[in-house]
Amino acid sequence: MEKVVLLFLYMLVVVVPSAFADSSQKLEVQKELKKLNSPPVRSIKSPDGDIIDCVHVSHQLALDHPDLKNHKIQMKPNFHPEGHPFGESKVSSNSKPITHLWHQNGRCPQGTIPVRRTSKNDILRASSIQQFGKKKERSFPQPKPAKPLPDSGHEHAIAYVEGDKYYGAKATINVWKPKVQQSHEFSLSQMWILAGSFDKDLNSIEAGWQVSRELYGDNNTRLFTYWTTDAYKATGCYNLRCSGFIQINRDIALGASISPLSKYNSSQYYISILVWKDPKEGNWWMQFGSDHVMGYWPASLFSHLSDSASMIEWGGEVVNSESDGQHTTTQMGSGHFPEEGFGKASYFKNIQIVDGNNKLIDPQDLGTHSDKDSCYNVHTRSASDWGNYFYYGGPGRNPNCP
């Protein structure tokens, strides 16, 4: 009898608290899902399994931010940068723009925006509910660190400019499906628009494409954005997973799969991204392709970027977790080194910056940085039709990158 009582007490102490913990987690997940998924006007099932909710533009999560409670949505920018953002070129005649898979099954109506629905599994894949949709600290490239940085497991191959005031940037980026070794690793290609101190109050606006099983639950290549005002410590998130970025476009869904993709020694497909600061309102706008103005990051979100950027970066990033004691085999870009050139290596072309006169100009003194040349590398060039461009990427682990 005494043993039975002791066993019962043990179950109360060990089993019941565990059940309470599971119940508590379920409640937290449900609360987060309710916050993230606004009631849709219409829902569209994408061929890749995503559900795209068409949410009324005034009901989007962005407006829950404390600084945006009384914000009046700006439905179009006051100014575009002067110049022709995305002209075609002879060399890229075999390069084609991409589309979104969900478009095959419908479009969102006027007055709504497309939002990729967040699932319970999306949240449970994160290390914690608080960390859901966020980058880890030190996931940025710092070409010239003032002091040695601890190894963050993030590796980059980038081109960059610094030393002036920048009011935007653009690039055309061809799109691939790099192999990612571990579920918690990722591979991405993006632009960074930066201001502030790298180690404590970095302001960053980011946009590009990525493959991340941890974020999306699959290996699809997806359009993404990110922002932070404190070096990824507490503020900001991917896409529309927190309040901040205000979307006005009803055709393009952040976080959605993009298709078709470039293939080695075959057709090449690309995305074009322009981010610029509206000279009148001060908001940072994003355009996708030649005619899709996506929306904006309100100036009130930022400290340093409320004025201008001090550095622009373009390039690739991977996570090298060395889970098996060796360098990861996660690929950057196409998974091939820059030397292989067009149709084989990944590229950024028609790279430009926006100057203080709201004009698109070619950057001067374009620098390069790669954390491990033998794993991933970058080579810059220029041509009359591609402007400033570079090839970048690599396979990760190889005989020279053990």
The catalytic site residues sit at 206, 317
Q: Give the closest residue to 351 by CA, choosing from 190, 142, 157, 178.
A: 190
Dihedral angle over CA of 296, 302, 306, 308, nearest 10: -90
Distance CA 115, CA 136 (A): 23
- Token pair listed for 39: 């009631």
DSSP letters along 310-366, please?
EEEEEEEEEE---TTSS-----BTTSS-GGG-TTTSEEEEEEEEE-TTSBEEPPSS-
User: If DSSP codes are grouped into helix, strand and coil, which group holds residue 105?
Assistant: helix
CB 134 within 8 A of CB 232: yes
Q: How many CA within 13 A on the CB side of residue 304?
A: 22
Strand boundaries in 32-145, DSSP class E: 42-45, 51-56, 95-97, 99-100, 112-116
DSSP letters along 196-258, please?
S-TTTT-EEEEEEEEEEHHHHSS---EEEEEEESSTTSSS-EETTSSS--EE--SS--TT-BE
Distance CA 237, CA 247 (A): 14
